[in-house]
Structure 1
Amino acid sequence: MTLLRFKTVIAAATALTAVLPLNPALAIEGGASHYLPGAYNDFGMNLQVPPGFYFRDDLTYYWAQFPDGTTLGRFGAVHLDQDLWLNNFKLAWASDFEVLGARYGAALILPVVFDFNLSGSIQFGPHQVSGRNNNGGIGDIAVAPLSLTWKWGDVHVNLSQFVFLPTGDYAAEKVVNLGLNRWSFETLAGLTWLDADRGHEISFNIGFISNTRNAATDYQSGDELHIDYTVAQYLSEAFGVGVTGYYYTQLSDDKSPLLDRLDQARRFLNLPGVDGYRGEAAGIGPAILYSPEIGGKRVSFIGKWIHEYDVNNRFKGELGMLSVALDF
């Protein structure tokens, strides 16, 4: 299938989901956000650590489809789904000096997309038009120039500021892009309570993301809020199990000339308006930690699986993540 024909399939599928009353189109431009479920919820995710450099590698597989597709009665249907293999390399630095009683640190995250595959189809009676496209390479780099961590007994509190840079490959005419062609600014606040004697842990993060306008498409994605949590039990110094999850919601409407045109089309058909395309989703699943000593240093291996539910205006799917973390 030619690229032009496939772009027609995806564009038509997205437009149909916008116009039809059953399911609106994807919120946040193209359903793509700098927020990645699973990347913010972990064992000891807000602990104040000793000064030094820390490395972490997260391998993520995410399979999802537009919830339930969109049907046109017995005459047609629209379907979209995606497969993503992503690896995040994270380098963090914890300093030995304090700011306002907190330990200062910084971080850099380099995302490498091994494969991002998007497919779509439109079926009218016995006739079907379908297509598939994929891409891979460097995504949008994130930096955290400010990270402050306080510690009071068993309670650890972190406040961080992240900046997502539009470094990933992007072109408005492409079906699958590695970057979002916009800057995102995220303020993240988190708390971890860890009872070292009994091995109990409760951790959560709250993040607020503000997005700039995509100049190539004149699309302004709305502000985003996410809450990520982990409840864990350590069975030994080297082994722990837990439940992890998230809640995501969009706080403000998406805005663009395209949405205005779709809103007019829906109202012309006596259908509800576009209503801002606000996205919402939640997910939950198990997590496991194994931290043996290797060469005199403790190395952590983490596995997570998150099942998404209560999804509106976003892709819905399953996420698996395997991670390794160490200090040097």
Structure 2
Amino acid sequence: MSFFMPNWNRIAIACAAVLSLPFTAVHAAENGLGFYLLGSKGALAALLPPPGVYFQNDAYFYSGSLGGNRQLPLGGVVGAGIKARAFIDLPTVLWVTPYEVLGGNLAFSLTTPIGGPNVNASLILGPFAGGRSDSLTTFGDPVASAMLGWKSGNFHWSLSGMANVPIGDYQKGALANIAFHRWAGDLSAAGTWLDPNIGLDISGVIGVTFNGKNTSTEYRTGTELHIEGAVSQYFTKEFSVGAIGYYYQQISDDSGPGAKLGSFRGRVAALGPTASYTFNVGIIPVTARLKVVREFHTENRLQGTAAWLSLAMPLYVNTK
């Protein structure tokens, strides 16, 4: 018997797909961070829900450190002995249009991050010396996305493009920023094999991020490659459990007068569990997903643990 039924149950699964959309990051690169949020893709990565308007909220938590004598460029200065924690809220609106381009369904989304990190450094090299700590709560750069999704049998695939719009609250010299103060774009391709008879989902994503120059610090982050994968099993149409992972590698050098540490190419990998549950509020399906990953094999970045608690729901769906 199929785990996936038509009408509202189908839309509930579609809400789970919304939870796989890419979003902006708080996480090498300047600050050891890229604007693409590693691990934001996962189960059902290539699915688009039916035409309509959807809302998703991601609560993102991160705790990491950079120990020893390793250094990191932070807002125009260089820091060592760094410890950081962050909480970022990422509300997103997704519009899946009724239009097709090259036979694929067309969709758009907008994410507006709010929140911020707490950063401590035992040594600052540059205009400041000695220990220092910064924290803030503010708004980051909005991220606009466009997606095309196709389907053939159990196989789904999609292409997506994202743009980081540098209008968030950014302060030069601050250790704690969630805005990047640079234009950046990301191109990604995703594939999902979803067998509705046994409830098995196998998904993968590969993408490349291109970065403009931070004119405040004269720092240009190099090009970044990210690869993500997920395997999930639906035990019922409401509940799934699985595993997710990602690998990140910077594939070109950082540059510019502000790149005081030279090429500073970053690398990181991560693995962890994920689970989702769909429930109804009235007749509206709401899908919740929890993801937790632990990073390893890290170079020129913070290493730590990241967690997401995500909720997605339809605001309007054409069910005809």
- Same fold, TM exceeding 0.5? yes
Question: 1:83 offset after TM fit, Å?
Answer: 0.5
User: Alignment identity in percent?
Assistant: 33
> Alignment length, in residue pairs?
277
**Match of 2:220, SS?**
coil
TM-score (ref. length: structure 1):
0.80
Conservation of the 8 A alpha-carbon contact between 1:140 and 1:180 = yes
Partner in structure 1 of residue 282 of structure 2: 295
Aligned residues: CA RMSD: 2.0
Q: Are 1:64 and 2:64 matched, yes or no?
A: yes
Counterpart of 1:161, as a letter, is G
Aligned to 2:163: 163
What is the one-letter code of the residue matched to 2:159?
L
Q: Distance in 1 between matches of 2:239 and 2:277?
A: 5
| 1:83 alignment partner, one of 85, 88, 104 | 85
Matched position secondary structure for 1:36: coil
- Structure 1 position 96, deviation (Å): 1.6
CA distance in 1, matches of 2:286, 2:203: 21
Q: State the AA in 2 paired with 1:213.
A: K
Q: What's the CA shift for 1:258? A: 4.2
Name the amino acid aligned to 1:118.
V
Which residue does 2:136 correspond to in 1?
135
Shift of 1:198: 0.5
Partners of 1:133 and 1:157 lie apart in 2 by: 42
In the alignment, which residue of structure 1 is the partner of 2:46?
46
TM-score, scaled relative to structure 2: 0.82
1:38-66 CA distance string (max 9 Å, x none): 3222x212213211011111001100101
Q: In the alignment, what sits opposite 1:110?
A: 112
Q: Provide the C-alpha distance between the structure 2 equivalents of 1:34 and 1:231, rounded to a whole number of angstroms.
A: 25
| 1:305 aligned residue | 292
Structure having the higher helix fraction is 1
- Cα distance in 2 for partners of 1:282, 1:54 equals 31
Distance in 2 of aligned mates of 1:78 and 1:164? 28
SS at match of 1:69: strand
Q: Aligned ranges for residues 244-323 of structure 1 at < 5 Å?
A: 244-259=244-259, 274=262, 276-323=263-310
- Paired AA for residue 59 in structure 1: A
Q: CA deviation at 1:310?
A: 0.3
CA contact (8 A) 1:135 1:178 kept: no
What is the Cα deviation at residue 88 of structure 1? Answer: 0.5
Question: By how many angstroms is 1:132 displaced?
Answer: 1.3
Structure 1 segments unaligned to the other structure (5+ residues): 1-25, 72-76, 263-273
Larger radius of gyration: 1
Return closer, same or farther for 1:155/1:134 CA change in 2, 3 Å cut-off: same
Q: Which residue of 2 aligns with 1:325?
A: 312
Match of 1:218 in 2: 218
1:292 aligns to what SS in structure 2? strand
How far residue 140 of structure 1 moved from its aligned partner, in angstroms, is 1.0
SS of residue in 1 equivalent to 2:31 = helix
Encode CA deviations 1:259-288: one digit per residue, 9 max, x unaligned. 4x65xxxxxxxxxxx4x1100101010000
Alignment partner of 1:30: what SS? helix
Gaps of 5+ in 2: 1-26, 71-78, 316-320
User: In the alignment, residue 85 of structure 1 is paired with which amino acid?
Assistant: F
